[in-house]
Structure 1
Amino acid sequence: MTRRTAYDIAYSPCPNDTFVFDAWAHGRVPGAPPIEVTFADIDITNGMAERGEGDILKVSYAVLPWVLDEYALLPCGGALGRGCGPLVLSREEGIDLAGRTVAVPGERSTAYLLFRLWAADRVPGGVGEVVVMPFHEIMPAVRDGKVDAGLVIHEARFTYQDYGLHCLADMGEHWESTTGLPIPLGAIIAKRSLGEETLGLLAESIRVSVRMAWDDPEASRPYVREHAQEMDPAVADRHIGLYVNEFTADLGADGYAAVRGLLTRAAAEGLVPPLGRDALAFLSRG
């Protein structure tokens, strides 16, 4: 294996990503190759993946059907879990979403797939217009009456009450109750052209970085705080506690079942292209 000087990696400035990658980004993972980090929100990294930009990317699971020919899903580093799904928020409690305008954080987002699957079950008349906007603009838009409801992700789970909003539905709760599986949110992918040995090294580097963060949480705090912007430290800690879990260290059988289940259901609804049989396989696809 000819090792490159450094590998390009792009992930979000959210606390779960900076917590996971802190040790690797700062050269503390023994034997791990150097990485050059770009911070970008998930809608940006999804686009990068579709254009084939970047060696390693944090993306939405929803984008996988479009990129798995060029990228491999790594079995660690991503975000899956329980009790951590996107929420649909509104100004008024209990409104009927049939025909209503709903803001969403991207039509390639996992949140959007979960929302569409929920709406197919729970909104018989179908929602009205879907408006795509950056996730940080959604709660103000709902509060100000620019849209009837908004689909929110990340730390909005902990802060939506500050905007005077109500939780109309929990997409993760619906997913878990209908499938029994964890909620797939964000994936780590890497270029297949790097070769199996390198992909294995990258995956192991992530696993070790996660374990080092768990073993010494204080070591990651400066990196997390530096990129969490205005986020309250207590909210950042809750964010990490919710999105960094056993599935971050290894997807395992339940994790892979959740990913395949989501994308299979979404394909049946015509939301994504169907997956090939071995599309999610790490390393060899034979």
Structure 2
Amino acid sequence: MKIVYSPCPNDTFIFHALVHGLVPGAPKFDVTYADIDITNKLAVEANGPDIMKISYAALPWISSDYTLLPCGGALGRGCGPLVLTNGSEGSISGKKVAVPSERSTAYLLFRLWAAQNVPGGVGEIIVMPFHEIMPAVRDGLVDAGLVIHEARFTYQNYGLTMLTDLGNWWEEDTNLPIPLGAIIARRSLDLEKVADWIRQSVEYAWANPDVSRDYIMCHAQELSPEVAQAHIDLYVNEFSAHLGDDGYAAVFALLSRAAKEGLVPEMDLEKLRY
């Protein structure tokens, strides 16, 4: 069975047990590690992998062959994307902004925030791998950057300034968690069984946090163990085991607001529940 997720610590923590034969009854997995922009594009292809991590924001475009799973993803509070500058930009009106994907939750939150807070709108949007964004802002290649994941803990190392925390903005506006990364699977699979495997993998990781450490650090893109652990603590939570009512409400709020602004296609959100 083919599975694709990022090399980020939260994903490797969650899926370690599943892909290392530690979940009873689960098959062997062929793992591919890919940036979210790549997986968001894979999600529209009919011949894509069996299971993959994408942005919640990309759900309106996924192939009819896939559906959302209620576990394994990333939602939470206090973990939103940041808009960073090198300190010289007090406003990003008409400015060049680097983003990790145009179909990411981070980008949707950015567009919804900018519509309310950036007079005249931003200027050119440039998509680049998320690990290249902070150096680009630091070096003046772009005026601002939209960053995700561990950048929350490391942007000060690049001498950058936080213009806004989109997570705080979203939570104050909706009182809901931030829907970041979703797990989707082929509809042809036994979805209950797949979800149960992933949930068992999450629970194994929580019960045996040291077992996956070498695997996590091998893929952690030069992060320190402390930053990798902070990343896991922030993004792996009760929503990773099950979305629940608040999780689904957050996803529905994001996609319905974005559709109203014309940022994503409209879809029947109830179809996300299988």
Quickly name the TM-score band, shorter chain normalised: over 0.9
Q: Helix, strand or coil: the match of 2:211?
A: helix
Indicate if the aligned counterparts of 1:100 and 1:127 stay in contact, CA closer than 8 A: yes
In the other structure, the counterpart of 2:73 is 78
In the comparison of the two structures, how many residue pairs are matched? 273
Is 1:250 aligned to residue 242 of structure 2? yes
Letter in 2 for 1:113: L
What per-residue deviation string (whole Å, max 9, x for no partner) do you get for residues 215-238 of structure 1? 110011011011113111100000
In the other structure, the counterpart of 1:141 is 136
Letter in 2 for 1:203: A
The structural deviation recorded for 1:94 is: 6.4
Hey, what's the Cα distance between the residues in 1 that align with 2:177 and 2:197? 24
Map 1:184-263 → 2, pairs under 5 A: 184-194=179-189, 198-263=190-255
Is 1:26 aligned to residue 20 of structure 2? yes
The structural deviation recorded for 1:181 is: 0.3
Is 1:17 aligned to residue 7 of structure 2? no
In structure 2, relative to structure 1, the CA distance for the partners of 1:255 and 1:145 (3 Å cut) is: same
Is 1:178 aligned to residue 186 of structure 2? no
Map 1:159-174 → 2, pairs under 5 A: 159-174=154-169
The structural deviation recorded for 1:277 is: 4.4
Hey, what's the Cα distance between the residues in 2 that align with 1:84 and 1:125? 28
State which of 96, 99, 102 in structure 2 corresponds to 1:101: 96
State which of 55, 58, 62 in structure 2 corresponds to 1:63: 58
Hey, what's the Cα distance between the residues in 2 that align with 1:173 and 1:275? 27
Is 1:281 aligned to residue 269 of structure 2? no
In the other structure, the counterpart of 2:261 is 269
Hey, what's the Cα distance between the residues in 1 that align with 2:36 and 2:98? 16
Letter in 2 for 1:205: W
Hey, what's the Cα distance between the residues in 2 that align with 1:39 and 1:103? 22
- Percent of aligned positions with the same letter in both sequences? 66
State which of 126, 133, 149 in structure 2 corresponds to 1:131: 126
Give the TM-score of the pair, scaled to structure 2.
Answer: 0.97
The structural deviation recorded for 1:278 is: 2.4
Indicate if the aligned counterparts of 1:93 and 1:168 stay in contact, CA closer than 8 A: no
Hey, what's the Cα distance between the residues in 1 that align with 2:261 and 2:255? 10
Indicate if the aligned counterparts of 1:93 and 1:166 stay in contact, CA closer than 8 A: no
Indicate if the aligned counterparts of 1:93 and 1:167 stay in contact, CA closer than 8 A: no
Runs of 4+ in 1 over 4 A off after TM superposition: none
Gaps of 5+ in 1: 1-6
State which of 40, 43, 49 in structure 1 corresponds to 2:43: 49
In the other structure, the counterpart of 1:4 is none
Gaps of 5+ in 2: none
RMSD of Structure 2 on Structure 1 (CA): 1.1
In structure 2, relative to structure 1, the CA distance for the partners of 1:171 and 1:277 (3 Å cut) is: closer
Is 1:36 aligned to residue 2 of structure 2? no
Q: Helix, strand or coil: the match of 1:217?
A: coil
